[in-house]
Chain A
Amino acid sequence: MVLSESQQDYLKIVLDLINEKKVARVNDIARRKAVSMPSVTEAMRKLARDGFVYYSAREFVELTPKGLRTAHRLCSKNTFLKNFLVDVLDIDTDMAEKEACELEHHLSLSTLERFILLYQFLGECHKNNRITLDLFKKCIRITEGNGDKAEECQSCFVASNFPHHPGKNTVHTLLSQLERGQEARIIKLGPDPDIRRKIIEKGILPGTKITVETVGGDNRNFELQTDGFLVEISPEAADMIETAVEQKNEFRRLSDLKTGQKFKVQKIYAKGEIRRRLLDIGFIKNEKGKIIREALLKDPIEIEIKGMKVSLRRSEARLICVDEVK
Chain B
Amino acid sequence: MREPETNHFRHCVRRRIGRGKHRWGQKRIRVAMAGNPNSKRIRIALAGNPNSGKTSIFNALTGQRQHIGNYPGVTVEKKSGVISVDGKLVEFIDLPGTYSLSAYSIEEVVSRDFVLNEKPDVIIDILDSTNLERHLYLLLQFQELGVPIVGALNMSDEADTKGIRIDSEQLGAILGIPFVKTIGSTGGGVDQLLDVALKVADGELDSNRRHLNYGKEVELAHNAIIDALETDVTFRKRYSLHWMAIKLLEKDQDAIKKIKKEHRFADTVLEITAERQKRLERYFQEDSEVIIGEQRYAYIHGALKETVSTVRKRKGIDVTESIDRIVLNRYLGLPIFMAVMFLIYEMTFALGNPLSDGISILFVRLSRIISAVLPAGPLQDLLTNGIINGVGGVLTFLPLVTLLFLGLSFLEDTGYMARAAFVMDKLFHIFGLHGRSFIPFMISTGCAVPGIMSARVLSNRKDRIVTILVAPLMMCGAKAPVIAMLVAAFFPEHATLIFLGIWLFGWVMAFIIALIFKKSLFRGEHTPFVMELPPYRRPSLKSVIIHMWGKASEYVKKAGTIILAASIVVWFLLSYPKPSPETIAESPREPSVVYSYAGRIGKGIEPVLKLAGFDWKVGVSLVAGVAAKEVIISTFGILYGMDNNVTENQSHVEFFVKDQLIRDPAYSPLMAFALMLFIMIYIPCLATLAIVKKELGSWKWPAFQAAYTLLVAFTMAVAVYQIGGLLGLGV
Contacts and interface: CB of A to CB of B under 8 A. Distances in A.
B334 interface: yes
Contacts, number: 115
Nearest to B424: A295
Interface string A246-283: 00000000000000000000001000111011111110
A306 interface: yes
Interface string B289-310: 1100110010000000000000
B655 interface: no
B426 interface: yes
A307 B155 CA distance: 15
Contacts of A282: 134, 137, 297
Contacts of A272: 104, 525
Contact of A300 (B331, B334, B425): B425
Interface string A269-304: 000111011111110110100001111110110100
Interface stretch (B54-62, B216-224, B529-537): B529-537
B328 A295 contact: yes
B102 A276 contact: yes
B525 A296 contact: no
A273 B104 CA distance: 6
A296 B290 contact: no
B231 interface: no
A296 B333 contact: yes
B530 A316 contact: yes
Given A285-B286, A310-B530, A276 B330 contact: no
A285 B290 contact: yes
Contacts of A300: 422, 425-426, 435, 529
B365 interface: no
B99 interface: yes
A181 interface: yes
A309 B330 contact: no
Contact of A313 (B133, B293, B525, B529): B529
A307 B532 CA distance: 11
A273 B429 contact: no
Nearest to B534: A309
Contacts of A181: 285
A170 interface: no
B165 interface: no
Contacts of B530: 274, 277-278, 281, 310-312, 316
Given A277-B99, A280-B99, A312-B529, A285 B131 contact: no
A284 B293 contact: yes
Contact of A280 (B102, B285, B334): B102
B377 interface: no
B588 interface: no
A296 B423 contact: yes
Given A213-B282, A285-B294, 9 more contacts: A273-B527, A276-B104, A277-B530, A279-B289, A284-B294, A287-B297, A293-B330, A306-B133, A312-B529
28 contacts: A213-B278, A273-B105, A274-B530, A276-B102, A277-B104, A277-B528, A277-B530, A279-B293, A281-B99, A281-B134, A281-B530, A281-B532, A284-B293, A284-B294, A295-B333, A295-B426, A296-B426, A300-B425, A302-B422, A306-B133, A307-B130, A308-B131, A309-B320, A310-B530, A311-B418, A311-B422, A312-B530, A316-B530
Interface of B: 99-100, 102, 104-105, 130-131, 133-134, 137, 278, 281-282, 285-286, 289-290, 293-294, 297, 320, 324, 328-331, 333-334, 418, 421-423, 425-426, 429, 435, 525, 527-534
9 A-B pairs with least C-beta separation? A280-B99, A309-B533, A280-B100, A273-B104, A313-B529, A274-B528, A307-B131, A297-B426, A277-B530
